[in-house]
Structure 1
């Protein structure tokens, strides 16, 4: 009985040590891979039939954080930068001002979108916020060669 008790306490002590080492290793590893966006833009994970690679324009000194997929199958890309919220908003306001404004085919949704014919992208839902002393922003994107062929968008 005493031997079983000793082994049980020894096993618990070893288990506690292993869990402490594992939690320390996990907490010291980065939670996401961060990479600087090249000056010519972030390459989106879209496959065009002719091999074209879509690149999303970003502010200078931007770091890519994560890409997800929204409810209609488009990409949502999140970035962070040292620029202020106002600088990021102005950058995209100036960029969008030179693009064709488009609207969703769903009449109930009034979300404005912007079609960049050269980049072959529709962009919408720009959201900018601050966290941990950095400016974060996300932008939804849809690959689109021709606005008349889009399932979700049409010319305004």
Structure 2
């Protein structure tokens, strides 16, 4: 077995893989795409807002008159360049209610509801790895029978075979 294979099977190898995965997820979820055009900003904002009439569509996707009105309002606010995207979304939330927001807040209960499954999955994965390691160590320790084990089996087999089993015919 090569050194790389041994390292990959070791607990340290698993910890490094999990840490790398968590780092990539954190990087991917926090990075920004850089400067955007006004149309890109309008598209990004309206894709985070649900159509107040349609079921399962964002304002960006919907061609409903209510969605077009929201999109036009967002377009005007973006062109005025006085508000940030977060402020525009907050204004829409105040006007139409929390239920039109498709993207959860990054703090409070919404954040916990989105992060909790990831934490539970990682904890379960770590628990499984720890259990497999423990089981392997126990199997290595108890893999070969001792003389006491052999005597116990012979004694048990001796009790099950009695002299009357085959004598009565």
Is the TM value for this pair above 0.5? no
Bigger strand share = 1
Instruction: Output the TM-score relative to the length of structure 1.
Output: 0.28
